[in-house]
Amino acid sequence: MKFKTRALVAMAVGLQWLAGCGGGGAGAGGGIGGTGSPLGTLRMSLTDAPACGYDAVNITVERIRVHQSDAAAEHDGGWHDIVLQPARRVDLLSLTNGVLLELGEVALPAGKYTQLRLVLAGNGGAVPLANSVVPAGGGETALDTPSAQQSGLKLKANIDVPAGKVADFVLDFDACKSVVKRGNSGKYNLKPVVTVIPWLSDAGQRVVGYVGWSIASTATRVSVQDSGMPVKATMPDANGMFVLHPIPVGSYTLVISAPGRVTAVVTGVPVVDTGDTVVNSAALRIDPPPATLRPVSGVATPTDASVRALQTLSGGPVVEVAWAPVDALTGAFAFALSIEAPLRTSFAARGPASLGFSADAAAAGRYTIEAAGAGAVKTQPIDVNSAVAPLSFSLP
pLDDT at 35: 52
Tell me 93's DSSP state: G
Phi, psi dihedral angles at 363 (to 5 degrees): -95, -5
**β-strands 153-161, 101-109 pairing:** unpaired
Contacts of 345 (CB under 8 A, 6+ apart): 265, 266, 267, 355, 356, 357, 358
CB 358 within 8 A of CB 344: yes
Q: Give the closest residue to 270 by CA, choosing from 248, 242, 294.
A: 248
Asked whether the bond before 109 is cis by omega within 30 degrees of 0, the reply is no
pLDDT at 354: 81
Q: How far is 391 from 84, CA to CA, in rounded Å?
A: 45
Residue 266, CA distances (Å) to 53, 74, 165, 343 in order = 26, 43, 36, 9
Per-residue pLDDT 10s for the chain (396 aa) are 443 344 333 333 333 333 333 444 433 333 344 456 799 999 999 998 776 778 899 999 999 999 999 999 999 999 999 999 999 999 998 998 888 999 999 999 999 999 999 999 988 777 789 999 998 888 999 998 866 667 888 888 999 999 999 999 999 988 888 888 888 888 898 888 899 998 876 778 999 999 999 999 778 999 999 999 999 999 999 999 999 999 999 999 999 999 999 999 999 999 999 999 999 999 999 999 999 999 999 999 999 899 999 999 999 999 999 998 899 999 999 999 999 999 999 998 766 778 899 999 999 999 999 999 988 999 999 999 999 999 999 999
Phi, psi dihedral angles at 206 (to 5 degrees): -125, 145
pLDDT at 6: 41
C-beta atoms surrounding 261 within 10 Å: 22
pLDDT at 165: 94
* Encoded amino acid at 181, one letter: K
Q: How far is 307 from 300, CA to CA, in rounded Å?
A: 8
pLDDT at 231: 93
Phi, psi dihedral angles at 42 (to 5 degrees): -105, 125
Q: Which residues pair with 193 in a beta bridge?
A: none
pLDDT at 147: 66
Show the domains of the chain with their CATH numbers.
Answer: 2-198 (no CATH), 207-394 (2.60.40.1120)
DSSP sequence for 38-81: PEEEEEEEEEEE--SSEEEEEEEEEEEEEES-TT--TTSS--EE
- Containing 3, the helix (H) or strand (E) segment is helix 2-12
CB 273 within 8 A of CB 204: yes
pLDDT at 390: 98
